[in-house]
């Protein structure tokens, strides 16, 4: 798939949404372009069982699908998918190896809903326990509560037999240290006596940014960050990333469940919980209707109770695609549809209706580095691009005045 082709398809989808073409029309357009990634939306020929998740779960779908097909519980199937990224030290958005809070401590959030028994569990701000999605299930099954946070949640997890472990990998620690030294106004970072110390520049902005990048590169090298990963590390420092996984699973009997797990916003304030552990924001499942989950700007999603809004929209007759786009429009409405602000926000919803129809929608087509995608398994495993509300890519926050070439040269896939 060439870069320009991807951009074209994304634009076509956005334009179709804008002109009110139906999901079936969009599907027809996609099928006509057989080398194009399919857009994630109701297929009209929905299948069960089916699992829908964020694309970082794609490698774990096969095993979970077999488990589900063989009669495994829907929540357990979804938990099998999200355990993959939670256990993976190289996924720095979830579980082990997640990027830490501003004090260098990994704090994890998760929640789950079990459709067949209409139960929910959630944990927020959990330290030292890797599989917080499973802990949220333990809260659901072994307490009379729905949500535990912080130290209490950690102690509960240990009591339930979850091992305490250090979740901060060397990889994530070095990125955090780079962030700490770069952003700090205190005594962190090399001081006046350091041979590399340079007085603050009074040069114009572009040059200043070039200097900041150069300084970060030097620091990254001193910290032992591998040369091939330095630019990626610098990007994470300049624009603290989010990252999460949601998964919903539906079996052939029509039972449905969902879960979401995350390390949240990188370098967040200690104690910050995003949308992921909030039942109704990061995840919501109703056995009568369907399931939805979210990744992206957590604070924005909490304000529209995104996953609950989507399930309620479907209850009242909207298709998964319409239900998701409506939730995104509510986020846009919170900013009076001002795209100069909305460009710094992004949100992806993963939506699965009880009959197996599904959709993946996002505020924008993607980041400068990649398209938003959802992963699906209904007997065939695939990744599909989301249907965006707005054409174009979201921008990193905080805004970057002048983008140095090295940071972007390989990254922009559209225009």
* Contact call for residue 386 and ligand ASP (CB under 6 A): no
Q: Measured from the CB of residue 296, what is the shortest distance to ligand ASP in angstroms?
A: 5
The reply on whether position 243 binds ligand ASP by CB under 6 A is yes
Binding flags for ligand ASP, 258-287, as an x/- string (CB under 6 A): ----x-xx--------xxx-----------
Q: Which residues are within 8 A (CB) of 361 and not within 5 positions of it... i.e. 6 or more apart? A: 40, 321, 324, 325, 328, 348, 349, 351, 386, 387, 388, 389
Instruction: Give the one residue of 172, 242, 261, 319 binding ligand ASP; rule: CB under 6 A.
Output: 242
Q: How far is the CB of 396 from ligand ASP (least distance, A)?
A: 13
**Is position 40 an interface residue for ligand ASP (rule: CB under 6 A)?**
no
* Interatomic CA distance for residues 277 and 112, integer angstroms: 8
The region of 78-86, 126-134, 290-298, 359-367 touching ligand ASP under the rule CB under 6 A is 290-298
Q: Which of 371, 140, 377 is nearest to 248 (CA)?
A: 377
Query: How far apart are CB 264 and ligand ASP at their closest, in Å?
Result: 3
CA distances from 205 to 25, 181, 240 (A): 47, 20, 21
Q: Is 182 helix (H, G, I), strand (E, B) or coil?
A: helix
**Contacting ligand ASP within 41-70 (CB under 6 A):** none
| Choices 27-35, 77-85, 154-162, 293-301; region in contact with ligand ASP by CB under 6 A | 293-301
Number of shown-chain residues binding ligand ASP (CB under 6 A):
12
Half-sphere exposure of 271 (CA within 13 A, CB side): 0
Active site residues: 244
Q: How far is the CB of 230 from ligand ASP (least distance, A)?
A: 23
Neighbour count for residue 339 (Cβ, 10 Å): 12
Determine how many CB atoms are found less than 10 A away from the CB of residue 36.
Answer: 19
Q: Which stretch binds ligand ASP (CB under 6 A): 24-32, 199-207, 223-231, 238-246?
A: 238-246
The interface with ligand ASP within residues 79-98 (CB under 6 A) comprises: none
Q: Which position's Cβ is nearest ligand ASP?
A: 298
Q: What are the tokens at 293?
A: 């989950």
Binding of ligand ASP at residue 298 (CB under 6 A)? yes
295 contacts ligand ASP (rule: CB under 6 A): yes
Chosen residue from 244, 251, 373, 386 binding ligand ASP by CB under 6 A: 244
DSSP string, 83-124: HHHHH-TT-TTSSTT----TTS---EEEEEEETTTTEEEEEE
For residue 178, what are its two tokens? 């780079």
Q: Which two tokens stand for residue 47?
A: 């299948």
Looking only at residues 314 through 373 of this chain, which bind ligand ASP when binding is defined by CB under 6 A? none
Residue 230, SS3? helix
Instruction: Please identify which residue in the block is written with the tokens 């990889």.
Output: 171
Choose between 42 and 57: whose C-beta lies nearer to ligand ASP.
57
Instruction: Report the interface residues with ligand ASP, using CB under 6 A.
Output: 242-244, 262, 264-265, 274-276, 295-296, 298
């Amino acid at each position: 798939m060439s870069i320009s082709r991807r951009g074209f398809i994304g634009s076509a989808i956005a334009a179709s949404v804008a002109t009110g073409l139906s999901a079936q029309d969009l599907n027809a357009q996609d099928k006509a372009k057989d080398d194009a990634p399919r857009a994630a939306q109701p297929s009209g020929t929905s299948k069960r069982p089916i699992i829908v998740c964020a694309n970082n779960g794609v490698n774990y779908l096969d095993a979970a699908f077999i488990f589900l097909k063989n009669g495994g519980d829907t929540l357990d199937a979804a938990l099998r998918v999200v355990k993959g990224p939670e256990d993976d030290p190289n996924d720095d958005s979830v579980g082990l190896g997640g990027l830490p809070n501003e004090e260098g401590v990994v704090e994890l959030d998760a929640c789950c809903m079990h459709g067949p028994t209409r139960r929910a569990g959630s944990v927020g701000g959990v330290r030292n326990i890797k599989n917080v999605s499973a802990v949220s299930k333990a809260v659901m099954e072994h307490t009379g509560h729905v949500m535990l946070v912080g130290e209490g949640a950690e102690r509960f997890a240990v009591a339930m037999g979850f091992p305490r472990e250090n979740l901060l990998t060397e990889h994530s620690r070095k990125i955090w240290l780079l962030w700490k030294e770069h952003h700090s106004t205190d005594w962190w970072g090399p001081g006046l006596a350091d041979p590399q110390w340079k007085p603050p520049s009074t040069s114009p902005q572009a040059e200043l940014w070039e200097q900041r990048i150069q300084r970060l590169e030097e620091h990254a090298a001193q910290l032992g960050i591998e040369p091939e990963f330095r630019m990626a590390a610098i990007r994470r420092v300049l624009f603290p990333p989010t990252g999460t996984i949601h998964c919903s699973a539906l079996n052939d009997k029509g039972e449905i469940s969902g879960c979401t797990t995350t390390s949240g916003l990188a370098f967040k304030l200690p104690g910050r919980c995003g949308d992921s552990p909030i039942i109704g924001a990061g995840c919501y499942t109703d056995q009568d209707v369907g399931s939805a989950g979210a990744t992206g700007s957590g604070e924005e999603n909490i304000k529209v109770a995104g996953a609950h809004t989507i399930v309620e929209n479907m209850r009242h007759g909207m298709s998964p695609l319409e239900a998701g786009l409506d939730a995104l429009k509510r986020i846009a409405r919170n900013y009076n549809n001002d795209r100069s602000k909305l460009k710094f926000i992004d949100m992806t919803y993963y939506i699965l209706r009880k009959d197996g129809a599904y959709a993946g929608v996002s505020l924008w087509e993607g980041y400068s580095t990649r398209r938003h995608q959802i992963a699906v398994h209904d007997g065939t495993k695939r990744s599909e691009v989301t249907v965006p509300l707005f054409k174009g890519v979201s921008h990193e926050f905080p805004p970057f005045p002048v983008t140095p070439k090295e940071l972007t040269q390989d990254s922009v896939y559209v225009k």
